[in-house]
Amino acid sequence: MLEEKVRLEKSRIRKEIRERLSKLGEFERRNKSRILKEKLFRRSEFRDSRVVMFYLSMKDEVETRPMIEEALNMGKRICLPIVESGKEDMIVSEIRGLSKDIVRSDSGIDEPKETCPRITDTGQIDCVVVPGLAFDDKLNRLGRGKGYYDRFLKKIPASTPKIALAFQCQKVSELPATRDDIPVTVLITA
């Protein structure tokens, strides 16, 4: 009964946040994404990292491609997730560049090519930039509902910084959270 109530509340919040995000104009999204990039790059957790896991942003998310390009130019090793259809866990692949290592999958999602090296030791990852639809003051995160990141974040060392980038409209006062939901360690908003 409680699980169903939590699931329904999460669904309601996802819908509300998607509506908020749809009202952000392209200029505002780009400008805030640039501000978030500057804030991320000033953080010691990011600056001191050698291997950073990013995500390739979707249309309604903070734009990560400029961040990935700059991080690569800084000499950081960059990893990106791959979600295989029908599988429960993500695969992590290292890329050398967006233009040469990214391909559009059959499901229409950009991801690393199969030829990119896989990262099997998640302990190598020094910092994870985590996507999400909503975040609260306790650093709880609400994803898109499939649980890929929660399962992945359980596999990395607890000391690995988990940084979320979000537009201010993605913040809520409180999110329903279960023991399977993994909070972030840092939330950066603009």
- CATH number of the domain encompassing residue 30: 3.40.50.10420
Residue 88 counted as domain residue:
no
Residue 90 counted as domain residue:
no
Residue 93 counted as domain residue:
no
Count of domains for the chain: 1
41, 24 contact by CB (below 8 A):
no
Q: What is the mean pLDDT of residues 77-96?
A: 91
Residue 116: per-residue pLDDT: 96
Residue ranges making up the domain that contains 11: 2-79+118-189
Asked if the model's pLDDT at residue 178 lies above 80, the reply is yes
Distance (Å, whole) CA 7 – CA 88: 19
Residue 144 counted as domain residue:
yes
Residue 168 counted as domain residue:
yes
Q: What is the mean pLDDT of residues 64-91?
A: 93
Q: What is the mean pLDDT of residues 175-181?
A: 92
Q: What is the mean pLDDT of residues 2-27?
A: 94
Residue 100 counted as domain residue:
no
Going by C-beta distance under 8 Å and a sequence separation of 6 or more, which residues neighbour residue 100?
none
| Nearest CA-CA partner of 143 in 3, 11, 37, 36 | 11
Q: What is the mean pLDDT of residues 94-117?
A: 92
Residue 1: per-residue pLDDT: 65
Residue 98 counted as domain residue:
no
Long-range contacts of 45-48 (CB under 8 A, 24+ apart): 45/127, 45/161, 45/163, 45/185, 45/186, 46/127, 46/161, 46/163, 48/126
The predicted-structure confidence for 64-74, as pLDDT tens digits, reads as follows 999 999 999 99
| Nearest CA-CA partner of 188 in 82, 45, 59, 72 | 45
- Which helix (H) or strand (E) is 102 found in, with range? strand 102-104
Q: What is the mean pLDDT of residues 172-188?
A: 95
Residue 20, token pair as written in the block: 């908020």
Distance (Å, whole) CA 34 – CA 26: 12
Q: What is the mean pLDDT of residues 157-182?
A: 96
Residue 23 counted as domain residue:
yes
